[in-house]
A and B are shown apart, each in its own frame.
Chain A
Amino acid sequence: MFVDVKDVIKEYPTATALRGVETGIERGMWCSIMGASGSGKSTLLNIIGGLDNPTSGAVFIDGTDITAMGEDELARFRRENIGFVFQQPHLVPYLNSVENVMLSQYFHSLTDEDEAREALKRVGLGHRLHHRPSQLSGGEQQRVTIARALINSPRLLLADEPTGNLDRENTRLILELLKKLHTEEQFTIILVTHDPFVSGWAERVLTMEDGRVIKDEPRYC
């Protein structure tokens, strides 16, 4: 398994978010995690991405136990192996599209403006290179975040409700883009959504409820 989740429990002082989640995701797969609000899907995604620690259990990515890593090692692993797309674009408002993508390069290694431009052209924003986030539509902003997430060639893309703020047409465009990039680059996608239309694009859907995976079904699309 490329991503191996071993009996992960996450407890907060007032609630238990994950109750012994155990699952594995193959390399290169597009997997969706479905579930109602509060089912623990975002918590699981954050733990897989090393943004949060489990109370117990372990997460292995390509055989590496990321829950055993120290802060610095984990940060390095994250920036070299994992890309994130969130519901909110979290773009820096005073930087243009190219600069927002270059920011990700900067924290990874070195900046390369040509490469950032190319990445934006690949997500269909060749005509919006020097626009600031406020000058872009929601769909365009999310395309910038996808370019930003993929600029460092991650092996794993984690997306938490990436189309949550978009209308159906923009949702479809973003998913088509992800599909195209996924086919071309063969990275693994784990996408959290509560929208059956979005989850329908995945090769496999995990359904969560009350901190547990209650359904694990392959899909063929």
Chain B
Amino acid sequence: MSLVIVEAAVVGIKEAAKLGIVWLVYSSFLREHNREGFLKAFYLGVALASGLALVSFFVPSTLAVKDFLARLIGYVFFLFFLGSLAALYQPARGFKPKWDTALGSLVVILTIVYLSPDIIGSTMFVREIAEMKAAYLPTYVSAATGFALALALTVIALGRFKHHIGRFFGLGQFLLFLSVVKLLGGGIRGFAELSLIPSVQRGVMKFFHDVVHQMLVFLMVPDHPMLSITTWNFVGILFGPNIALAAVLALLLAPPAMFLYHGLLAPLPEPSEAATGAERRLLKAAARADRRRKALPVALFICVILVFWFSGRAEDITRLYNPKPKPVVEDKGFIVIPLTDPTMNIRDGSLHKFSFYHEGESIVIMVIEKPDGKLVVCLDACEICPPEGYGLSGEEVVCIYCRTPIPTDTLGIPGGCNPIPLEARITDSKIMIEAKELLEKWDDVITGKTKEAIR
């Protein structure tokens, strides 16, 4: 029970720290630009987001809801990430007072959009762990105390800097800051997800993989001399861990790098209002100093992203759960997986592997319960990569060879990087797979016929 209480407190602390830091930078940013009136819109947005969190307390936290929230957090991150770039290339030319009402409404909406997925997700998570351990009051009190204390401490500790921070932030830097905060603290699954970086990595890797895969399938004509198993193995490298992860890093670092370029290397604009050369140089020097100041937090973001990326990557690679296969045998033309073993609960949502020995080769079968409660049985191999199998990472199985993540709820779908599904008869006591089908599909994998089918 104590771990649940600690986890609830951590969730509360994380949400409060994010809110406190965002408040600090936002209020400093407004003060620097003499637009403190918009602080009220922010407070209104916070209040409404908190209200939504309270409402969400009574909403069932289904897989679909959690998935929606997780995706929303990702989209919000990208919204602010891309928004920062837009602000960099289209700097605000001074908002007219007549736009204030519209801008105020926009601030309220963006504050709700920015804060509510995390707060709602965290609220649901706290409720879930409280329900899991039937420790409602201590868990809620722990989360609320962690939130209140962390918010107070953040505001007290950082409040003294609020008069100095604003000058480091233009609108672009501010939006970039918000996206980085989202990236580093956007997870809604307690200890399991204290940062969004692994999710972004997986998402981008999947996207990268799909683009490369579809493009190659689209471009390759039948009987092309390049089409061979070896070629596909090389193709596998393209969407393998190294290139895809480098692409993720490039994506994450591209906007900050552009900010640094603009802050440190781009030519300074010629001031139009200068009367003398000295005045012109003074104005340019002031603009350069301002740019350099605003490059400082961006450089800090780059360092933080790098640190989190490397630690996230290391975690992601080492975190794959890959159980040792249990041997199974053939009985009257069927491979039988007994479910009566008291040491194994096949419906625990985890990955289970079984190996069938045939002519000196080990053919591995994977079984997992999908989120909808159905058991799915697949070969521990896909149609493309060498059959190194899959490991479990959260709610995805990940190809050990090419690191492609496959959501567990899509298992059973054939083709591409999905594990090759097997027809199976499932009863309470056993799973039966036709040996002939298993051997045929395995033969297709090792002879490369699955790849020919793709062609």
Contacts and interface: CB of A to CB of B under 8 A. Distances in A.
Interface of A: 80, 105, 108-110, 112, 115, 151-153
Contacts of B279: 153
A54 B148 CA distance: 57
Given A108-B282, A152-B278, 18 more contacts: A80-B278, A105-B281, A108-B278, A108-B281, A109-B278, A109-B282, A109-B284, A109-B285, A110-B281, A110-B284, A112-B277, A112-B281, A115-B277, A151-B277, A151-B278, A152-B281, A153-B278, A153-B279
A219 B276 CA distance: 31
Contacts of A115: 277, 281
Given A80-B282, A105-B281, A109-B282, A153 B288 contact: no
B275 to A, nearest CB: 9
Contacts of A105: 281
A105 B279 CA distance: 11
Interface string B273-295: 00011110110110010000000
A81 to B, nearest CB: 10
Q: How many B residues touch the partner, as a band? A: under 10
Contacts of B282: 80, 108-109
B276 A153 contact: yes
A115 B225 CA distance: 65
Contacts of A80: 278, 282
B284 to A, nearest CB: 5
A151 B276 CA distance: 10
A44 B281 CA distance: 31
A152 B288 CA distance: 18
A218 to B, nearest CB: 29
B264 to A, nearest CB: 14
Interface string B386-417: 00000000000000000000000000000000
A16 to B, nearest CB: 38
Contacts of B276: 153
A80 B276 CA distance: 12
Contacts of A110: 281, 284-285, 288
A66 to B, nearest CB: 19
A175 to B, nearest CB: 24
Nearest to B288: A110
A152 B278 CA distance: 5
A80 B281 CA distance: 11
Q: What are the 3 closest A-B residue pairs judged by CB atoms, nearest first?
A: A109-B285, A153-B278, A109-B281
Contacts of B288: 110
Contacts of B284: 109-110
A153 B282 CA distance: 11
B211 to A, nearest CB: 45
Interface in B244-293: 276-279, 281-282, 284-285, 288
A152 B276 CA distance: 9
Contacts of A153: 276-279
21 contacts: A80-B278, A80-B282, A105-B281, A108-B278, A108-B281, A108-B282, A109-B278, A109-B282, A109-B285, A110-B281, A110-B284, A110-B288, A112-B277, A112-B281, A115-B281, A151-B277, A151-B278, A152-B278, A153-B276, A153-B277, A153-B278
Most buried by A among B278, B279, B285, B288: B278
A8 to B, nearest CB: 29
Nearest to A150: B278
Contacts of B278: 80, 108-109, 151-153
A189 B285 CA distance: 27
A115 B276 CA distance: 10
A3 to B, nearest CB: 20
Most buried by B among A80, A109, A151: A109
Interface in B12-30: none
B130 to A, nearest CB: 57
A186 to B, nearest CB: 12
B282 to A, nearest CB: 5
Nearest to A112: B281
A71 B68 CA distance: 59
A112 B278 CA distance: 10
A110 to B, nearest CB: 5
A211 B278 CA distance: 36
Nearest to B279: A153
A121 to B, nearest CB: 13
Contacts of B281: 105, 108-110, 112, 115, 152
Contacts of A151: 277-278
Nearest to A111: B281
Nearest to B276: A153
Interface in B332-349: none
Nearest to A152: B278
A38 B279 CA distance: 38
Contacts of A109: 278, 281-282, 284-285
B160 to A, nearest CB: 23
Contacts of A112: 277, 281
A110 B276 CA distance: 13
A20 to B, nearest CB: 35
Most buried by B among A110, A112, A115: A110
Interface in B276-329: 276-279, 281-282, 284-285, 288
